[in-house]
Structure 1
Amino acid sequence: MAKKEKKQAINPKKAVKPRPAKKGKVVKGVFAEAEPKTEVTKIADKTTVAGQEPLIALKKVVVEKAISELEKFSEKSKQDSEKKSQLFEDDGEALFLQVTNLKFFADKVSLKPKSITVPHPLHNLEDFKVCLFVKDDLIDSETLEQIEAANISHLDKIISAKELKGEYKSYDARRKLVSEYDVFLSDDSLVTVLPKLLGKIFYSNARTTPIPIRLRTGKKLSITTLKNQVEKVGTQIVYVPPMGVNVVIKVGDLSSGLPKLFENVKAIAEHFQNQQIRSLSLKVQSSPSLPIYYAKKLYTEEDIKKTVDEESKPQASVSDFDKGLLELAVDEAAAAKFISKKRKNAGSIQAAKKQKA
């Protein structure tokens, strides 16, 4: 048997150039781990607008207390169950943030995921691999050489739509493909056809759902845009907006430590600042949710005023006979004049009733 070679430390300033590859083949390189962002927008300490309180104000003490309790719960679960102890022996148990909104996150079923940039990546960037799906006519041999020369970090494979129809048509081939890569990116022009080409196995969870990205500048592929999109995806959390008021997003592993987990929670909460969030809760896979934030106000004074104005607005009372006349009317101006007159009469009657009262 061959002796195992010793792993050499990776010099961040030097990167091994990837070997030339044809379309659909692996494009590999050695990449240094990206430095996590240190600047995080404060949610609890700073205001979003001068003189106004932030929409979602998180208290660090509350968040860290919730995480500590979940760590105790997870540790106790390991001790109570030998199976769970083996399951979480190597990797820390995942921590999730449950976000509850006042309204639905999506009005219809969506297959387009959204991303949140966090200061501490969930992926191990040393082994992080990205697969890219592209249209058949987007990348030729010359463009592929340019991509290889650009030395794009983490981009490991490029697959055309034609190859998805042929080489990856079988279920076993798709299952193998979905297990080999951490993130899948797609040319945005393929969004409508990918569900049919990839099948349910890719759209069963947010991690494997292809993220559409814009690759073109005009009709040609932009190498700079591709490089930026691929390199930033390693520091992002992906989720699919549901047709409901609840969405659960992975924050990290409990083994990451309180400071990193808290900063990721803040970054995710900041992402939802412009929505009407009712509550935020933390949980692990088998635990109950521990609330860390409740909205003080679900409705503003403007919402209440708008509702009152709509209720007090006089409504036109149109009888069945009048409706029949309107259906026969050919002149739109005459019909509009008739409705306007009815509304004025309704308003006068309401005003008279208020004066008598």
Structure 2
Amino acid sequence: MASSKVTLRSDVAVSLLEPEKTLRASKALVSHLKSEAEKKAANASKKELLADDDVGSLGETPVFVTFTTKRHLTESRNLKPTKIPTPFPIETDTDKGICLIVADPQRHYKNLVADSEFPDDLRKNVSRVIDFGKLKKKFSAYENQRALYAEHDIFLGDTRIINRLPGLLGKTFYKSQKKRPIPIEIQTRIPKSAGKRVKPAKGDVNSCTAVQLAGEIKRAVAAALVNLTPSTNHAVKIGYASWKAEDLAANADKVVSVMVNKLIPGGRKNVRSIYLKGETRLTSPYLPLANCCKGPETVALPIYLTDELWVDREKDVVGDEEAKTLLAGEKANIGKKRKSLEGTAEETEPVSKKSKKTKPAKVPESNDDKLDKEIADRKATLKKQKKAAKKALDV
């Protein structure tokens, strides 16, 4: 009997990680975080009555896969998280509230959530369904946005209005990556007629079914999220410290495969290092900078390190002989034109040479006889002009 397992293209692609090395790093990281939690509980002077147990505290400690690349992944900041499906769901807490932001009208999508085909256990988590119009009307004030942010744990946004949410919700939701709205596809594909898509009739709502909506919500909550920024460092949450090391290793392999083959431009050539990273809130001698940092400290274990520091050695690295010829041919850029960023020539101010000190010119000595003669000649000329003017008036 043939196997029913379907292999994805990303699974066939060559992975950078060695499974055994990733599993060893996962076991070491989980063991370290558990020992730190036990030390913290033992060193506590008074046990808090409302404090969680070790398993609960470890369940809130996230584990990340961090990527360091040689070049930036994007040129601009992308505020829409990218979803990566993982073998083991990231969020499994059934008590977390979900806010669903949809396109107009919201009543149609509330009816989908209340439909009998929608799973009952998931319906309990969907605490609010609101459309973009109501969101803009009720939550445009900063205080209302803060209240909405604190009221729910996960926010899901319709792909039709997801790009309009940053301008409305602002820094309240997008300053950090913790509760950014996750895009979900809740509209159906309109079939084509004669090569063109037929627009829905006025009043009809283009939406999926209740079963499809539930599947979209489950996949969005269970996926690992990537927020691409114009930088060389990115972190992706793959689970929590209370998980099994095998589960963390499986999620790490999947996330690395998708990142390298789909999201990182240049693929494996652009990857410098990959680490497994966990957080601990107890000062530890194993951690670097533990004595000088405040707040949560981190521990990271390498699972991939590249030997080449360049994406393309032939283009990025110059040979010794070529470097010597380039350095020998360079001259000081004094009084030359240089090209500006726009491509137009820009003149540089020439360096002024030190001028020699010149002696002041000698002032000629005054001669009173010449000055008296000049004055007398000017008076005679003025008298002639007056006489000529007087004769002209008499005539």
| TM-score relative to the length of structure 1 | 0.62
SS of corresponding position for 1:265: helix
Indicate yes or no: 2:25 matched with 1:62.
yes
Q: Alpha-carbon deviation of 1:183? A: 2.1
**Counterparts of 1:166 and 1:144, CA distance in 2:** 18
**Counterparts of 2:35 and 2:247, CA distance in 1:** 18
Q: Alpha-carbon deviation of 1:123? A: 2.0
SS of corresponding position for 2:138: coil
Indicate yes or no: 2:283 matched with 1:283.
no
**Counterparts of 1:79 and 1:252, CA distance in 2:** 26
SS of corresponding position for 2:32: helix
Query: For residues 168-183 of structure 1, what are the structure 2 equivalents within 5 Å?
Result: 168-183=139-154
**Counterparts of 1:112 and 1:204, CA distance in 2:** 13
Which of 83, 86, 97 is 1:118 aligned to?
86
**Counterparts of 1:297 and 1:228, CA distance in 2:** 43
Identify the range of structure 1 (86-95 vs 276-285) with the bigger mean alpha-carbon deviation.
86-95
Amino acid corresponding to residue 291 of structure 1 in structure 2:
P
Partner of 2:208: 223
Distance verdict in 2 for CA 1:298–1:204, change over 3 Å: same
Identify the range of structure 1 (202-211 vs 124-133) with the bigger mean alpha-carbon deviation.
124-133
Q: Alpha-carbon deviation of 1:232? A: 1.0
| TM-score relative to the length of structure 2 | 0.57
User: For each residue in 1:148-187, what CA deviation from the matched residue of structure 2 results, as whole angstroms up to 9, or x when unmatched?
Assistant: 3364443623211221122223333322322333321212
Amino acid corresponding to residue 100 of structure 2 in structure 1:
L
Partner of 2:130: 159
User: For each residue in 1:4-33, what CA deviation from the matched residue of structure 2 results, as whole angstroms up to 9, or x when unmatched?
Assistant: xxxxxxxxxxxxxxxxxxxxxxxxxxxxxx
In structure 1, runs of 5+ residues without a counterpart are 1-37, 313-319, 321-326, 328-357
In structure 2, runs of 5+ residues without a counterpart are 191-198, 200-204, 265-269, 280-295, 323-335, 337-343, 345-395
Amino acid corresponding to residue 122 of structure 1 in structure 2:
I
Identify the range of structure 1 (197-206 vs 168-177) with the bigger mean alpha-carbon deviation.
168-177
Quick one: percent identity of the two aligned structures? 25
Distance verdict in 2 for CA 1:269–1:79, change over 3 Å: farther
Q: Alpha-carbon deviation of 1:77? A: 4.4
User: For each residue in 1:102-132, what CA deviation from the matched residue of structure 2 results, as whole angstroms up to 9, or x when unmatched?
Assistant: 2213211221111222222232353344322
Partner of 2:114: 148
Asked whether the equivalents of residues 13 and 257 of structure 2 are also in contact (C-alpha less than 8 Å), the reply is no
**Counterparts of 1:260 and 1:192, CA distance in 2:** 34
Q: Alpha-carbon deviation of 1:228? A: 3.2
Query: For residues 1-357 of structure 1, what are the structure 2 equivalents within 5 Å?
Result: 48=13, 54-58=15-19, 59=21, 60-80=23-43, 86=51, 89=54, 90-92=56-58, 93-136=61-104, 139=105, 141=107, 144-146=110-112, 148-149=114-115, 151-153=117-119, 154=122, 156=126, 157-216=128-187, 217-218=189-190, 220-224=205-209, 226-274=213-261, 275=264, 276-281=270-275, 282-284=277-279, 285-299=296-310, 303-306=312-315
**Counterparts of 2:215 and 2:308, CA distance in 1:** 39
**Counterparts of 1:167 and 1:185, CA distance in 2:** 18
Amino acid corresponding to residue 283 of structure 1 in structure 2:
G
For the aligned residue pairs, the C-alpha RMSD in angstroms reads 4.1
**Counterparts of 1:109 and 1:241, CA distance in 2:** 7
Asked whether the equivalents of residues 79 and 227 of structure 2 are also in contact (C-alpha less than 8 Å), the reply is yes
